[in-house]
Every structure is written in C-alpha cells, then in structure tokens.
C-alpha cells in the first residue's frame, strides 16, 4: 500500500505546488497509513484521504517550516494525531521535534503511530505548560511551540503568557477569525506581555478563506 500511497501524495503535492523534499513522500505515506488505521479506533483526524491530508495537513506543515531555523527545538502542543509535529519532523529532519497531548489516549495512540511509521519522536502525556516548565527546569528550553486547532487565542494566551519567559515563542495556525480572536484576547487582558503578529498566510484549499501563521513573542 505504501508505494501507491506515496505516489499519490507526491502527485497531489505537485498539483498544489507544494515543494516537498524528494525522499519525504514514502515517510509521509507510512505516517498517513498508520494514522488512518488508528483513526478507525480513535477519532484523531477528519482528513482521511490523500487530497485533504496533503491540502490541509501537509500544506500547513510546509507553510510553517520556512519560519523555523535549522536545529530548532520544537514542541507540538495538543498534537492529536501528530499534526503538524510529525509532518514537520518528516519535512525538516534537522529539527528537534517533540509532541504532547493532555489526553492520554491520544498521546499513546500517536506514540504507536510514530513507531509504526518508523519514526522516533518523544511524546508526552501532559499539557504543554507542564512539558515547557519541565524542559526549562532541566536547561533544555523549547525554541518554538507550534499550535494548530487546539483552542481560541484567548485560552492559549491564558495558558502560556504566564510562562512566556520559559520558551522562545509560539507559532499558531489560525483561520479567518484570527483578528477577532486577537481582539478578544486584548480585551480580556491577555496580550499585555506578548506581541501577536501575522507572519504568513496561505490558501485554505476548498474554500475562499486562508490560513494564517501567528507569531507570539514576549514584549
């Protein structure tokens, strides 16, 4: 199955104009096959065909990648089925990627998915705040926390603004309502100590909307 699936992923990426590393389609296929198999047992993703997987999941990771420096230490917060963290690790093997999810059954499932796909990434059964604090305490800070489809911006800032000194920055994938979420966070006092700015955008395939990448740094 993996070879035809790898070809389909490569073809779809080419159709969408996504420039993927030449050796990545096989690893993407191995991951997708395992993710979709686990999805029959545990709801981890709605993107269960090649078109959605590439246009939503792979496209998001490909858009985030250029904003990460070589060798960055990255935590995928609320990873769910492993997106975008696993895909970043495949597309950018120079990165140090770790994953976390506070829902233990999801963390255990993504750990199994990673192993089945032949990858080796640390997975934490814990909330992102706890993982960040533990890393900082042992002198191994995360450069970037990557967040997609986890919570509204006001909730993310309520979690991470108090510990903003213990990691480098947040990169958050958001949809067309990001400005409303930013204004709500500011109104509720959660943007006093951080700067929120849009650093990238890309089409949300199948709609007239776009995804945006927000960078959040301490002031």
Please state the three-class secondary structure of 50-108 as a single string: HHHHHHHHHHHHHHHHHHCCCCCEEEEECCCCCCCHHHHHHHCCCCEEEEECCCHHHHH
Q: Say what the pTM is.
A: 0.95
Task: Give the confidence band of 207 by pLDDT, cuts at 50, 70, 90.
Answer: confident
- The strands making up 144-148's β-sheet, listed across from edge to edge, are 123-124, 96-100, 73-77, 144-148, 169-174, 210-218, 194-203
Of all residues in the chain, the percent with pLDDT exceeding 70 is 99
Q: What CATH number is given to the structural domain containing 103?
A: 3.40.50.150
With a cut of 70, say whether residue 1 has pLDDT above it: no
User: How far apart are alpha carbons 54 and 59 in whole angstroms?
Assistant: 6
Residue 21 lies in a domain: no
Residue 33 lies in a domain: no
Residue 27 lies in a domain: no
Residue 134 lies in a domain: yes
Domain span holding position 60 = 54-218
Residue 71 lies in a domain: yes
Domain count across the chain? 1
Residue 32 lies in a domain: no
Residue 25 lies in a domain: no
With a cut of 80, say whether residue 202 has pLDDT above it: yes
Residue 43 lies in a domain: no
Give the pairing type, strands 144-148 and 169-174: parallel
11's CB contacts (< 8 A; 6+ apart) are none
Tell me how many degrees the CA angle 29-206-59 measures, rounded to the nearest 5: 40
In this prediction, residue 204 carries a pLDDT of 80
């Amino acid at each position: 199955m993996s070879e035809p699936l790898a070809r389909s992923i490569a073809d779809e990426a080419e159709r969408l104009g996504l420039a993927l590393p030449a050796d990545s389609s096989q690893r993407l296929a191995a991951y997708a096959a395992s993710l979709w198999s686990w999805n029959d047992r545990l709801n981890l993703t709605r993107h269960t065909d090649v078109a959605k997987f590439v246009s939503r999941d792979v496209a998001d990771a490909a858009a985030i990648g250029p904003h990460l420096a070589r060798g960055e230490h990255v935590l995928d917060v609320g990873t769910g089925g492993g997106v975008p963290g696993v895909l970043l690790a495949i597309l950018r093997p120079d990165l140090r990627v770790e994953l976390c999810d506070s829902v233990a059954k999801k963390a255990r499932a993504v750990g199994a998915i990673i192993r089945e796909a032949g990858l080796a990434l640390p997975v934490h059964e814990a909330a992102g705040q706890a993982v960040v604090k533990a890393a900082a305490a042992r002198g191994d800070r995360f450069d970037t926390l990557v967040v997609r489809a986890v919570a509204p911006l006001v909730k993310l800032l309520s979690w991470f603004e108090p510990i903003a000194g213990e990691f480098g920055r947040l990169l958050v994938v958001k949809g067309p309502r990001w400005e409303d979420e930013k204004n709500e966070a500011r109104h509720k006092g959660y943007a006093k100590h951080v700067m929120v700015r849009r650093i990238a955008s890309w089409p949300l395939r199948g709609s007239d909307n776009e995804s945006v990448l927000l960078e959040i740094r301490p002031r």
